[in-house]
Structure 1
Amino acid sequence: MLGSLSSDLSKQGVRTPAKGNCAACGKPIVGQMVTALARTWHPEHFTCDHCKQELGNKNFFERDNKPYCEEDYHNLFSPKCAYCSKPILDMVTALARTWHPEHFTCDHCKQELGNKNFFERDNKPYCEEDYHNLFSPKCAYCSKPILDNYIMPSRAQWHPHCFVCIVSDAASQNGGSFFDHEGMPYCETHYHAKRGSLCAGCGKPITGRCITAMYRKFHPEHFVCAFCLKQLNKGTFKEQNDKPYCTVASRSCLADAWQRRRRERLDVW
């Protein structure tokens, strides 16, 4: 239309000076024109270099001195989301990849991470809570994740405040000493109770010599006659009513027992 108008005006003696040559077709521009990328264009020739859609007054993007509509520019050149593979306009950069903010989520709970702290495992992001629940070492006592200091006396790990006797919940005594039984910590008393090495006389642990008698263990000095309290030796005592007696005391005890039974019989008669 503009070309016909220019021709008609020229025939009538009216000068229609050209405004430059079109960057697309190379022909002179008379009438309306588009100025972009430091060049001039016929409006119908200023099109997206990819889809050839007229750009007109639309937003456009430039790449290698060529115009592109917004959709094609992002599809062709914008970074792609590591989750959905679609172009990213507003993005998060993490793990050497780019993401839509709504797609950068914890791999376990799917919560958006945004600007929160996150942890990486096998090139996947995790929120702090899920990372520790899934991958941090667990305390052998409370089974909760260990995030800071820990005690590792054997194969297991413990929170310092959880490293207590497994029976009594008492903290380690004697400067932090403890006794291990089947991978679990015990205070001295419960350790020996578990192993059957408490003295049947005083109830305290036996750490040295001991006497085993009547299916129990004794400190040598606590294995005494139940009647005269004389110290006994294994093999030189008599057992009566689950109590040890020396030979002399056992005869006396038997006599006393016979007299008691005799009196009981007389009382009955």
Structure 2
Amino acid sequence: EESFSSVVPVPVEAGVMSPGTATRELDSIMNELLGLGLEVSEPTSNPPPMAHKSMKDKKPEETKESDSGKQKEAKKPQHPPLSEKVSKNVDAIDDLLGSLSSDMEKMGVRTAAKGHCASCGKCIAGKMITALGQVWHPEHFVCTACREELGTCGFFERDGKPYCEKDYQNLFSPRCGYCKGPITQNILTAMDQTWHPEHFFCSHCGDLFGPDGFMERDGKPYCSRDFYRLFAPKCSGCGEPVKENYLSAANGTWHPDCFVCADCLKPFTDGCFLELNGRPLCSLHYHSRQGTLCGTCGEPISGRCIAALDRKFHPEHFVCAFCLRQLSQGVFKEQAGKPYCSVCHTKLFV
């Protein structure tokens, strides 16, 4: 009869590993496992050789059952589903980590979990990140918006959630009233809006505002020069914009210094003026343009008048050119464009 027995290998003395070396070894193994992405093959253990029965000792019924079992095994699929492979890989990693932890504990190295990841809730045995009052797996501490890892760069916090700088600025930073982009550094507040300092300029000429500040029209800022030129009323005298003190007269707006007689350019000292064709005139030049100056004294005629010799006269100033007596009832004789009474005309010219 043939017989087989298992042979026990000779024990080999294991080298003593220091705690620091064991910790580094554990970290390296964890890094390798993380890099594999759950593609670790299931460890195989060689079962101890078993004593086989000889073919002579087997009964015919046992041989038939073994043959039928082999046929059933041949019919089974050779490749298990992917989900079963992943679960087996995960179980294998867990078994491997469990065995590593037990070995490290035997060597005097503490392998207690450093905490539970705030994202996945699993224990952290390798590298970790501490942020926002919690601990994380490095690959699980990511931006809330774009899911980019934040372990190697800075982050911003909003409502207890981490964000990368780009997404934080796009989501929460104030916007410029001109370019609508996020404002990350210097900010200027004006007209109930926020602006980049370099984007707050005159809407007409594009120049930045100086010490004079700006003026607003229809929600847009303007420098004082362009504002007055575009929107301020124009002086009816000089045509320039009226900025401060002004006068409204003769259907127009005037600078106080520009409101003068259109002919003699003298100001109206008594505040009285006469208008002709939209232009202010003093009394003298108004009556001069109207032809209502007295032909004798040259003063304006505001009341009754006598029209004679293509001119107009105050009644008391229409007199004989020789005797200077008033020509009553308008009876006169003309000689060389001058009025004479009948008596003086007879004496002088007849």
- TM tier, shorter chain? 0.7 to 0.9
Given the superposition, is the C-alpha separation of residues 94 and 210 from structure 1 closer, same or farther in structure 2, using an over 3 Å criterion? Answer: same
Deviations 1:39-94 (A, max 9, x none): 12222222211112222342321122111111111112222222222112232222
Matched, 1:156 2:181: no
Of the three residues 121, 132, 136, the one matched with 2:217 is 121
How many positions carry a matched residue from both structures?
A: 254
Any gaps of 5 or more consecutive residues in structure 2? 1-25, 32-96
Superposed CA offset, 1:163-185 (max 9, x none): 211211211123x2222223322
Q: Which residue of 2 aligns with 1:259?
A: none
Given residue 202 of structure 1, which amino acid in structure 2 is its aligned partner?
Answer: C
Q: Distance in 2 between matches of 1:192 and 1:116?
A: 47
1:192 aligns with 2:217: no
- How far did 1:194 drift? 1.9
Which of 332, 345, 348 lines up with 1:237 in the alignment? 332
Q: Displacement, 1:205?
A: 1.2
| Residue in 1 that maps onto 2:179 | 84
Give the alignment of 1:65-84 within 5 angstroms.
Answer: 65-84=160-179
Q: Which of 197, 203, 208 is the matching residue for 1:101?
A: 197
Alpha-carbon spacing, 1:149–1:95, altered in 2? closer, same or farther (3 Å): same
**Secondary structure of the equivalent of 2:294?**
coil
RMSD: 2.6
Structure 1 runs, 4 residues or longer, greater than 6 Å off: none
* DSSP 3-state at the match of 1:152: strand
TM-score by length of 1: 0.83
**3-state DSSP class of the match of 2:249?**
coil
Unaligned runs of 5+ in 1: 256-269
Deviation, structure 1 residue 235: 4.5
Matches within 5 A, 1:1-269: 2=27, 4-5=29-30, 7=97, 10=101, 12-13=103-104, 14-89=109-184, 90-113=186-209, 117-174=213-270, 176-233=271-328, 235-255=330-350
Alignment-mate amino acid for residue 240 of structure 2: K
Give per-residue Cα distances to partners, 1:132-167, cap 9 Å, x unaligned: 222222222122222333222343222222221121
Whole-angstrom distance in 2 between the partners of 1:115 and 1:30: 63
Larger Rg: 2
CA distance in 2 between counterparts of 1:79 and 1:19 reads 40
Q: Report the identity percentage.
A: 54
User: 1:11/1:97 Cα in 2 relative to 1: closer, same or farther (>3 Å)?
Assistant: same
Task: Give yes or no for contact 2:129–2:141 (8 Å, CA) kept in 1.
Answer: yes
Instruction: Tell me, in whole angstroms, the C-alpha distance in 2 between the residues paired with 1:132 and 1:234.
Output: 61
Distance across 2 between alignment mates of 1:114 and 1:29: 59
The answer to whether the Cα contact below 8 Å between 2:260 and 2:268 also exists between their aligned partners in 1 is yes
Greater alpha carbon shift after TM alignment, 209-218 vs 2-11: 2-11
Distance 1:251 1:235 in 2: 17
Higher helix share: 2
Q: TM-score, normalised by structure 2?
A: 0.65
2 CA distance for matches of 1:244 and 1:119?
A: 68
